[in-house]
Structure 1
Amino acid sequence: MAKLLNQFNKHWTQLTLWSAILLLIGFGFRAAGLTLIANILFAIVTIMAGLPTIIRAISALNAKVISIELLVSIAVIGAVVIQEFEESAVVTFLFILGTFLEQRTLNRTHKSIKELTESAPKTALLLNDNGETDSVDVDEIEVDDKLLVRVGDQVPVDGKILTGSTLLDEAIVTGESISARKQPGDEVYMGTTNQEATITVEATKVGEDTTFGKIIELVEDAQDNQAPAAKFIDKFAKYYTPAVLIIAALIFLIFKDFRLAITFLVLGCPGALVIGAPVSNVAGIGRGAQGKILVKGGSVMDELNNVDTLLFDKTGTITTGHPSVSHLYQYDDHENWLLIASQMEQASTHPLGTAIVKYAEKSTDNINQSIDTKTINGVGITTEYDQQTIWLGSPTVLETSHVNLTAKQTKQLIGLQESGNSIVLMVADQTLVLMFGIIDQLRPGVKDVLNALRRYGVKNFAMLTGDNQKTANQIGKLINVDDVRAELMPTDKASILAAEQAKGHKVLFIGDGINDAPSLAKADVGIAMGSGTDTAIETSDVVLIDSDFNNIFKAKKLARITINNMRQNIVIAIATVLVLLLGLLTNYVDMATGMFVHEASILVVILNAMRILRIKL
């Protein structure tokens, strides 16, 4: 039976489509007076749409659950017995249509996990006892093995640097766009990319035990355990189905009228209720798509409406993820030092170098010309230009070039650091000529959005980031968030999120990177920036297609509107059923009239849901 139901589930779209087509053709033949052909078509629809419903009812009974499918199944069988084929076809079709609409909005894939796994390094250079390297499969590496990691290679394990100094792009793990300077003794992580110089690494964690392996494991576990919110109709059916069945049985026992009892069951099937919630969700999802807010499921609306805690990443989420020059101090006017700095960084792929080039493009010509440079590990780049030795890099260039800052320059450097800037200095022949302050800029309207969310019932806010504490604290002040937790790994973020959920909070998490994927998947609602990684987008519940932070509040507002609309539809559906049943018992309603009102109520809930498409967010 389970296999048969699986086959129905695989072809649910085709089943719904053909049922709709045959139902419409049947109404056409009936209008033309060809009742026999119409009834044959209605009978076919009843079988097609009714079988999966009956199978689900039996499965529920096996699990000792009285479901709404049981009520529908008994009503449909009874309608067939009394030869009301049109009613049986309409009831079964409405039921599978409601399921179809819900499934369409709940489809999720594990494509992201496959892509994440494929992005991990596959081979490594293992150093043998003779100091030579052997290319081996990553799965063959053991703890304490020594590995060579060249420029451009991914680090194949979690470990510590034995020799060499370099820059590592750790965005895949920490989410930070600015590369990290690593020295002997520092920890490195699987999946990060070596950008500057060859290093040797001793493995401390391998395979699934690495930080990157844990990210994959967390995402898999969270997606496997993430079930849709319990449907209202499932809770409703627990009491409603037995009540209708008992009343129908009493009607038969008291009045000895099988047709009346079956009519009661048919009219008691809450068609508007079955379709009311899905159609509200579909309308809400459609309205979100109009505003570039992609909501991936009907249950997301309910969860988003109830969230009271917001946790969010920093880089790429509330900031743009693209560092830019915020301050430039120039101490010498004899040369166009900005032009020279941009030409030195022309071939650089480092985010800070790219920021300098983009800044220079706004005011400097001939920027496309490049100057050959030499990379000095742990310092930056250097070149010989116009008989001068020029250095461009982190504050460590001061020691290398034997330059001492003036009191004013020291104050400026400290001020930039305290405001969250990364520092790049340019030295020419032992003279400081330029000081750049480079920072990842806040997205517009972040503070206003957070304030608006407070008015909509979100009480707790926390920023979780892999960046350093000083920079994170500065960003926290700008957006009026006191709970700032920095220097976190992906597992740390997921643990903080789980702790909030354990307190009973409904958590909304916002992120953009692979490192955010476990939290996006584990959260009650995960929102990903459209500019983020494919993994973040796939594991989230909501995607902001244009990465507009203002759309977070709009998504929350849309969820409230959608849930309120759904509740209105539920009231309309239940009220209609009650009126029909009372009318039937008092001889004011017969089967034909009841089905007309029944179908009219379905049109009413659909039109009510369509109002969502016209609201202003």
Structure 2
Amino acid sequence: MQSAVLRSKNQITLLSGILIVLGFFGHFVLHNELVFLVSFVIASIIGAAPIAIQAYQALKVKVVSIDVLVTIAVIGAFLIQNFEESAIVTFLFLFGSYLEQRTLNKTRSAIKELTEMAPESAWKQMANGEFEEVDVDEVDEGDILLVKTGAKVPVDGTVLTGEGHINEASITGEAVPVTKSIDSGVFAGTILENGTIQIRADRVGEDTTFGRIIELVEEAQDSKSEAERFIDRFSKHYTPAVLVIAFIVWLVTRNVELAITVLVLGCPGALVIGVPVSNVAGIGNGARHGVLLKGSEVINDFSRVETVVFDKTGTLTIGNPEVAEKAFYGERTEEAIGFLASVERESDHPLAKAILKEVGEVDFSPVDETEVVKGSGIVASVGGHRVAVGNVSLMEAEGVVLDESARADVELFEKRGNSLVLTSIDGKLEILMGIRDQIRPGVKDDLNQLKALGVKNLVVLSGDNQGTVDLVAEELGLTEAHGHMLPEDKSAYIAKMQAKGEIVAFVGDGVNDSPSLALADIGIAMGSGTDVAIETSDVVLMNSDFSRLPHALGLTKATARNMKQNIAIAVGVVFLLLASLLFSDWMNMSIGMLVHEGSILVVILNGMRLLKYELKARGKEVSQAASLGKTTTVTESK
């Protein structure tokens, strides 16, 4: 019976409204007091039913909810035969709940849209070589799938044949199609706008990037910030306090109607709903713009960040370095190159990939006893020889002597902004390679936007040599630059900044960044980085789109402001209503409930503005203002 009544809340609201209109029609038009009385009595009873059931359910779990206050107020009004007030109060409360649910559903539209984008079927290559349409759950890793023009990519995979343009807005928030050809990676939930491709399934189901986005956004929207937890605790004490105050008012004045009005005016609905709706809308906006915010607490901390620390390779730079310069010192160059390639084939580091691309086809040798020296390089046994590949520190640890010519080359390569890879065989230096990475296009403007949004310190920490890091810092206008940093050095630097009372965000993409991502107040992972980096972070920039970082910061600041606005609105309305009750003669239950429900809608609509938030900047002006120390060129649509 209870569940049937609650399921019919909307119909009850409509019927209650019709009865109220009928009652006023009978009173003012027909001048029939019986119609007026019967209509309002029935409207009061049926309108109070779902509210009373919700109050009863709350009391069963020892919670004095808003429904309890309204139920007591309506019963009191009914007992003193103020049927007009009781009917109108129940209708306004139910109608307000209906509107709240409608608008709250809109704030959760991001996750709903994401879920609807999830592919449901796929064209899978069967044993006979033909493609058949199957449910996406039947696709396994390694399967060959066909994607046609206009279809959704069903899984994360790699293009095997064909070429086309894919809209990746569901992943990156960027609607401009991306060209995909052989060996390109594709994401589930994206749309092939033209062309036909065959892909190999690399990740399926919940393991796809799209699946993880949905999971993370759902978890984030269900999480609670410290502000929300405080308001929950506050409302648990506040609502019973309103009951006590109303009872005291009745004891002192013996005015039942006044006491009932206090109950209605004291309802904390807007206060309870204001902060969650801001958080949910902010997280939803981020999801639609390629930014995953993992929870409400992240929004609060990120909005107050003043220091942002960056890893260099793959974060400030593209992460696709190339060999720019090289020098050879021994007489067995060809053999040394083969040994170097054999060792680097064991690594997935970007510098290793650059070297393998440079040396091309060589004779590989078996590699044994590989030892990774963290932050320095690799030492291994190759064809019976001890081969060390890494930086200058590794050479020193291996006892490799660098003569004047080699030291001069090292210094020159560093000055030109190269990352250094030295190769020694049996303690003798054979090869020096200088590898350079390209700075991400547009990253300087993005950093200037961060400055304009209030970030005071921009710091780069890198395992690369100091010369290379200094050049990057100089070009990008960073505050500090530190090279030769091991993972533990980066973590120590962050801990030192935190000890000074600074709120620190760290941006990185690799396994070696995970400790720093976890330690920082806000860990920000580039979306194409490693799973470990993404899992330990608080914010994920999908598809490694660095330009999403200023949007993320601006969004969290706007969301934090929105929360404060909603709290101010909620508290202000309660004080206004109580003041009106004390110092005016026009305040009554119906007006109080109308204003109360109106305040709830106001905070919801205010929170929903965040769904349309966009960070707007004028690139040239941003750069100029940043160089002048101004902070007025980045605008946020409110």
Q: Which residue number corresponds to residue 577 of structure 1? A: 574
Q: Does residue 1:324 correspond to 2:321, yes or no?
A: yes
Which of the numbers 240, 245, 248 marks the counterpart of 2:246? 248
1:303 to partner: Cα distance: 1.8
Q: Distance in 1 between matches of 2:534 and 2:4?
A: 33
Q: Distance in 2 between matches of 1:395 and 1:91?
A: 67
Q: Distance in 2 between matches of 1:488 and 1:56?
A: 54
On the 8 A contact 2:326/2:433 being kept in 1, the answer is yes
Q: Distance in 1 between matches of 2:72 and 2:110?
A: 30
**What letter is aligned with 1:43?**
A
Moved more, 237-246 or 476-485: 237-246
Q: Distance in 1 between matches of 2:589 and 2:537?
A: 46
Q: Which residue number corresponds to residue 593 of structure 1? A: 591
1:51 to partner: Cα distance: 3.7
On the 8 A contact 2:303/2:556 being kept in 1, the answer is yes
Residues 518-546 of structure 1: CA deviation (Å, up to 9, x unaligned): 54344332222212233332332221112
On the 8 A contact 1:45/1:93 being kept in 2, the answer is no
Over 3 Å counting, the alpha-carbon distance change for 1:233 and 1:528 in structure 2 is same
Over 3 Å counting, the alpha-carbon distance change for 1:571 and 1:395 in structure 2 is closer
Q: Which residue number corresponds to residue 287 of structure 2? A: 289
Q: Does residue 1:348 correspond to 2:354, yes or no?
A: no
On the 8 A contact 2:224/2:296 being kept in 1, the answer is no
- Runs of 5+ in structure 2 lacking a partner? 20-38, 79-85, 112-222, 329-333, 370-377, 396-401, 616-638
**What letter is aligned with 2:10?**
L
Over 3 Å counting, the alpha-carbon distance change for 1:304 and 1:255 in structure 2 is same
Residues 84-114 of structure 1: CA deviation (Å, up to 9, x unaligned): 55567679999999999999999xxxxxxxx
Which of the numbers 27, 37, 41 marks the counterpart of 2:13? 27
Residues 18-64 of structure 1: CA deviation (Å, up to 9, x unaligned): 99854323213324549869955753454347644774658xxxxxx
On the 8 A contact 1:476/1:482 being kept in 2, the answer is yes
1:280 to partner: Cα distance: 1.9
SS of corresponding position for 1:251: helix
On the 8 A contact 1:305/1:559 being kept in 2, the answer is yes
Q: Does residue 1:228 correspond to 2:225, yes or no?
A: yes
Q: Does residue 1:414 correspond to 2:411, yes or no?
A: yes
Q: Which residue number corresponds to residue 552 of structure 2? A: 555
Q: Distance in 1 between matches of 2:608 and 2:409?
A: 58
Q: Which residue number corresponds to residue 386 of structure 1? A: none
Q: Distance in 2 between matches of 1:420 and 1:53?
A: 69
Over 3 Å counting, the alpha-carbon distance change for 1:44 and 1:252 in structure 2 is same
On the 8 A contact 2:270/2:599 being kept in 1, the answer is yes
On the 8 A contact 2:339/2:364 being kept in 1, the answer is no
Equivalenced residue count is: 446
SS of corresponding position for 2:434: strand
Q: Which residue number corresponds to residue 263 of structure 1? A: 261
On the 8 A contact 2:100/2:604 being kept in 1, the answer is no
1:508 to partner: Cα distance: 2.1
1:256 to partner: Cα distance: 1.5
On the 8 A contact 1:20/1:93 being kept in 2, the answer is no
1:589 to partner: Cα distance: 3.2
Q: Which residue number corresponds to residue 528 of structure 2? A: 531
1:328 to partner: Cα distance: 4.0
Q: How does 1:498-513 map to 2 (within 5 A)?
A: 498-513=495-510
**What letter is aligned with 2:608?**
M
SS of corresponding position for 1:546: helix
Q: Distance in 2 between matches of 1:248 and 1:104?
A: 40
Over 3 Å counting, the alpha-carbon distance change for 1:451 and 1:392 in structure 2 is same
Q: Which residue number corresponds to residue 305 of structure 1? A: 303
Which of the numbers 410, 434, 438 marks the counterpart of 1:437? 434
On the 8 A contact 1:376/1:382 being kept in 2, the answer is yes
- Runs of 5+ in structure 1 lacking a partner? 1-14, 59-68, 107-225, 332-336, 361-366, 384-390, 399-403
Q: Distance in 2 between matches of 1:522 and 1:95?
A: 39
Moved more, 97-106 or 556-565: 97-106
Which of the numbers 274, 277, 281 marks the counterpart of 1:276? 274
Q: Distance in 1 between matches of 2:484 and 2:45?
A: 68
Q: Distance in 2 between matches of 1:253 and 1:282?
A: 43
Over 3 Å counting, the alpha-carbon distance change for 1:475 and 1:234 in structure 2 is same
Residues 131-156 of structure 1: CA deviation (Å, up to 9, x unaligned): xxxxxxxxxxxxxxxxxxxxxxxxxx
**What letter is aligned with 1:504?**
G
Over 3 Å counting, the alpha-carbon distance change for 1:454 and 1:381 in structure 2 is same
Over 3 Å counting, the alpha-carbon distance change for 1:580 and 1:395 in structure 2 is closer
**What letter is aligned with 2:11?**
I
Q: Distance in 2 between matches of 1:511 and 1:53?
A: 49
On the 8 A contact 2:420/2:432 being kept in 1, the answer is no
Q: Distance in 1 between matches of 2:500 and 2:560?
A: 24
1:243 to partner: Cα distance: 7.7
1:292 to partner: Cα distance: 0.8
Q: Which residue number corresponds to residue 605 of structure 2? A: 607
Which of the numbers 517, 536, 546 marks the counterpart of 2:543? 546
On the 8 A contact 1:530/1:545 being kept in 2, the answer is yes
On the 8 A contact 1:76/1:92 being kept in 2, the answer is no
Over 3 Å counting, the alpha-carbon distance change for 1:574 and 1:406 in structure 2 is closer
Q: Distance in 2 between matches of 1:494 and 1:52?
A: 47
**What letter is aligned with 2:614?**
K
SS of corresponding position for 1:572: helix
Over 3 Å counting, the alpha-carbon distance change for 1:554 and 1:500 in structure 2 is same
SS of corresponding position for 2:567: helix
Q: Which residue number corresponds to residue 456 of structure 2? A: 459
Residues 206-242 of structure 1: CA deviation (Å, up to 9, x unaligned): xxxxxxxxxxxxxxxxxxxx98323363697699768
On the 8 A contact 1:345/1:354 being kept in 2, the answer is no
Q: Distance in 2 between matches of 1:72 and 1:497?
A: 48
**What letter is aligned with 1:25?**
Q
On the 8 A contact 1:466/1:488 being kept in 2, the answer is yes
Q: Which residue number corresponds to residue 202 of structure 1? A: none
Over 3 Å counting, the alpha-carbon distance change for 1:329 and 1:592 in structure 2 is same
Cα RMSD (Å): 5.4
On the 8 A contact 1:347/1:370 being kept in 2, the answer is no
SS of corresponding position for 2:309: strand
1:459 to partner: Cα distance: 2.8
Over 3 Å counting, the alpha-carbon distance change for 1:424 and 1:22 in structure 2 is farther
Moved more, 284-293 or 559-568: 559-568
**What letter is aligned with 1:271?**
G
On the 8 A contact 2:581/2:587 being kept in 1, the answer is yes
1:583 to partner: Cα distance: 4.0
Over 3 Å counting, the alpha-carbon distance change for 1:227 and 1:285 in structure 2 is closer
**What letter is aligned with 1:416?**
F
SS of corresponding position for 2:303: helix
**What letter is aligned with 1:275?**
I
Q: Distance in 1 between matches of 2:414 and 2:368?
A: 23
Q: Which residue number corresponds to residue 49 of structure 2? A: 43
Q: Distance in 2 between matches of 1:568 and 1:561?
A: 10
On the 8 A contact 2:107/2:281 being kept in 1, the answer is no
Over 3 Å counting, the alpha-carbon distance change for 1:98 and 1:32 in structure 2 is closer
Q: Distance in 2 between matches of 1:31 and 1:100?
A: 23
SS of corresponding position for 1:508: strand
On the 8 A contact 2:463/2:485 being kept in 1, the answer is yes
SS of corresponding position for 1:230: helix
**What letter is aligned with 1:318?**
L
Q: Distance in 2 between matches of 1:545 and 1:327?
A: 30
Q: What is the TM-score normalised by the length of structure 1? A: 0.57
Percent identity reads 38
Over 3 Å counting, the alpha-carbon distance change for 1:488 and 1:341 in structure 2 is closer
